[in-house]
Chain A
């Protein structure tokens, strides 16, 4: 399993886009998880009366209307965004692999039921599912947000995994393993999963970009991450009245989203290319 993943990764990193994406991601992760130690408290309001001050010494990205340091907020918002996205996608991939694996391996009625349900879920745009869940959830805590984002992100993945498993189930090495008396558990874990790891990795990478955008969107609608925890989406929401008078308040969090999602998508794109060289 690790062998094929490494091959995929190194092939993706051989392309310039993949390299740029990976380097950016590494850099962003480093900054986001290390820099908070060096920066001011993101919710401190040192000088209320000063309000939003433009970028300058002391506040490289300026301050928002409450005189909070925007750099510190962008960085700790990134921590939230990346953690939420990472965990939600991990959950989604696990669920997708599980459901897809079971449906593909077991086949028959179970496969039909699961895939009909997945069809139905796929027909509801993910954002609407999220809106529905968020609406009924009282003051959603961060953990629940992860849960909800993860639980709505696995449908397409389960189809991919199921397709791969269906194909592989009849492959010789699987048939051989079955003939040698390997149980379904062993077959799924040892033989099938390693072979779907590549497509899963691609789906996961692209999924991270989606989740970052979705989380920002929900926070922009005021129903995602709760204050005072900074979030890129809610920073843009708060900065709306200042769009003309203090544009830095919305530009930096916006750029943070664009750069992060772009980095993730570049890597995802390169991975997809490496997995299926024809599309490169």
Chain B
């Protein structure tokens, strides 16, 4: 559930990280011991773990909260093998429907209260509550209940036997302090004292937030897994992409989750004091086609509900050329809503070459002809004109949108490019007020996460374009319950089915260039939770 919602879409907009150095002479050099992360978005309402899906909130979550377990290097979400214990020391299977976790008894909330199984149960049960977060509830549909057996033991019961039980139990939420959260009515969590100054169980504790400017975290010396190296983490909010890069280039900041655009990466790479760490990402960029009429969501879209038009648009675009020109080696064209990192990705997939002539022919067969000679196709007196919304903070969206506009112009489709500020773009997207919408989603590690945006059940939630193909829904349901090998085949068929339905033009899936000042050693980046290892970094002297 680090998902696909509007805010995550701005994955590139992120953060900054800093590290401090665990010198014996603590305090001696705070500057050296601080890691400064530059991000674009602020953790607006930092309700960590819950509801907080923005990239910035995820950073806060990574730094402040410790989950029961994390997915390992290979990102295999199916089965129990590729998971690393964190808050839970171990887990056992009581039967095919029941998992029992044993929590580490040393764990404490940052206010000193011990972390118990009750906290973990509360978080899971909150996340399953459709009234709290319908999208997450959809992902946790097979979790029956979570209960605390005693302080140390958490029992999670599932509705069915399936391979991703452990993943579901540990990935979507981290435990929340029941003594602070349970007292708040569920509807008011967002405005509770806890949300405005959260208390976590992870390596960093909340210090303060200067709205729109920065967030300050400090090392939690009671953290039971070890003493955090960087003593302070500052997350700066800098809305301007150029200013973000300049902060890093001038040495004022240490970490930038850079855009994968080749122009940006090569500028950073040219600086000898900056190291670029390629981080596999779960990010997929695509342009979705609204299947409903933006003027009246009860009706099909007058142009885009026709599969032939959607297919023709995809055919007309040189996706490989665009991706190569924009990202160089930092991205490739995905087959469907499947990121580079996914274990179900088909390595043999090659995008079809662009075919503008074929696209024109297809459109002609559906009655779209340029009768008035203005260069734009029309049918029944209506021009083939569509709006394309994209968020202004995203430089890559801007570049790709113009490329799309130009390429479609050549087959007679007029695109109005609407550059919208992030929050306005998100609002339009949520309201279904668009023809084409440029989105970038950070997908779940599990392909089961596709259910959010690409199933009929996801409509009204993450599925903003009202795409619905019952075949995809049944494939997803089958794959979720199938053993790993069959699941792989089923997921690949799902992706092919989605691609054939053309609910979107799938444009790119990136590798994230993480730019880190070379004064910081032991840099370790965890793809599913990039900032969770910051506490083990070693910042060196500031040059």
Contact = CB atoms under 8 A, between A and B. Distances in A.
Chain A in direct contact with chain B (Cβ < 8 angstroms): yes
Given A227-B402, A240-B241, A48 B418 contact: no
Interface in A29-49: 43-45, 48-49
B405 A240 contact: no
B263 A48 contact: no
A240 B322 contact: no
A240 B393 CA distance: 13
B44 interface: no
Given A43-B406, A48-B318, A49-B324, A243 B242 contact: yes
Contact of B406 (A44, A240, A244): A44
Given A238-B398, A241-B261, A228 B406 contact: yes
Interface string B371-412: 000000000000000000000100100110111011001000
Q: Chain A interface secondary structure, helix, strand, loop or mixed?
A: loop
The CB with the most chain B CB atoms within 10 A, among A44, A228, A238, A243, is that of A228
B263 A65 contact: yes
A247 to B, nearest CB: 12
Contacts of A44: 406
Interface string B244-257: 01000000000000
B307 interface: no
Contacts, number: 54
Given A48-B325, A228-B406, A241 B398 contact: no
A66 B402 contact: yes
B417 A45 contact: no
Interface string A221-247: 010001110000000001011111100
A240 B325 contact: no
Contact of B325 (A49, A222, A227, A228): A49
A232 to B, nearest CB: 17
B403 A48 contact: yes
B242 A51 contact: no
Given A51-B325, A65-B399, A228 B405 contact: yes
B81 interface: no
Contacts of A43: 402, 405-406, 409
A49 B266 CA distance: 16
A245 B419 contact: no
Contact of B399 (A66, A226, A228, A245): A66
A33 B416 CA distance: 25
A139 interface: yes
Interface string B309-330: 0000000001001101100000
A51 B324 CA distance: 10
B267 interface: yes
A245 B405 contact: no
A45 B403 contact: yes
A48 B266 contact: no
Contacts of B147: none
A106 B148 CA distance: 84
A226 B392 CA distance: 12
Nearest to A237: B398
Contacts of B305: none
Contacts of B245: 241
B264 interface: yes
Contacts of B322: 48
Given A49-B324, A222-B392, A227-B419, A245 B263 contact: yes
A40 to B, nearest CB: 13
Nearest to B398: A238
Contacts of B321: 48-49
A226 B263 contact: no
B387 to A, nearest CB: 9
Given A65-B399, A66-B399, A241-B267, A226 B419 contact: yes
A85 B86 CA distance: 63
B344 to A, nearest CB: 31
A131 to B, nearest CB: 13
Name the residue in B241, B318, B399 with the highest tally of chain A Cβ atoms < 10 Å from its Cβ: B399
A184 B194 CA distance: 71
B451 to A, nearest CB: 34
Nearest to B393: A222
Contacts of B405: 43, 227-228
A44 B410 CA distance: 10
A226 B417 contact: yes
Contacts of A45: 403, 406
A240 B242 contact: yes
A48 to B, nearest CB: 4
Contact of B266 (A222, A240, A245): A245
A48 B322 CA distance: 7
B417 to A, nearest CB: 5
A238 to B, nearest CB: 7
Contact of B419 (A49, A65, A222): A222
A45 B417 CA distance: 16
A260 B395 CA distance: 29
A6 B121 CA distance: 86
Contacts of B318: 48
B419 A242 contact: no
Contacts of A65: 263, 399
Contacts of B403: 45, 48, 66
Contact of A242 (B263, B401, B418): B263
Contacts of A228: 402, 405-406, 417
B280 to A, nearest CB: 24
A230 to B, nearest CB: 11
Contact of B395 (A226, A241, A245): A241
B533 to A, nearest CB: 29
A48 B400 CA distance: 11
Contacts of A242: 263
A66 B404 CA distance: 11
B390 to A, nearest CB: 10
A126 B409 CA distance: 37
Q: Which of A43, A65, A241, A244 has the most CB of B within 10 A?
A: A241
A103 to B, nearest CB: 39
Contacts of B409: 43
Contacts of B419: 222, 226-227
Interface in A240-277: 240-245
Interface string B226-256: 0000000000000001100100000000000
Given A66-B399, A226-B419, A227-B401, 20 more contacts: A43-B402, A43-B405, A48-B403, A49-B321, A49-B325, A51-B263, A66-B402, A66-B406, A226-B417, A227-B417, A240-B241, A241-B241, A241-B245, A241-B261, A241-B263, A241-B395, A242-B263, A244-B267, A245-B263, A245-B266
16 contacts: A43-B402, A43-B409, A44-B406, A48-B318, A48-B322, A49-B321, A49-B325, A65-B263, A139-B418, A222-B419, A227-B401, A227-B405, A238-B398, A241-B267, A244-B267, A245-B267
In the A-B complex, list the 7 residue pairs whose CB atoms are closest, starting with the nearest.
Answer: A48-B325, A240-B242, A241-B263, A227-B417, A48-B321, A49-B325, A45-B406
Interface of A: 43-45, 48-49, 51, 65-66, 139, 222, 226-228, 238, 240-245
Interface of B: 241-242, 245, 261, 263-264, 266-267, 318, 321-322, 324-325, 392, 395, 398-399, 401-403, 405-406, 409, 417-419
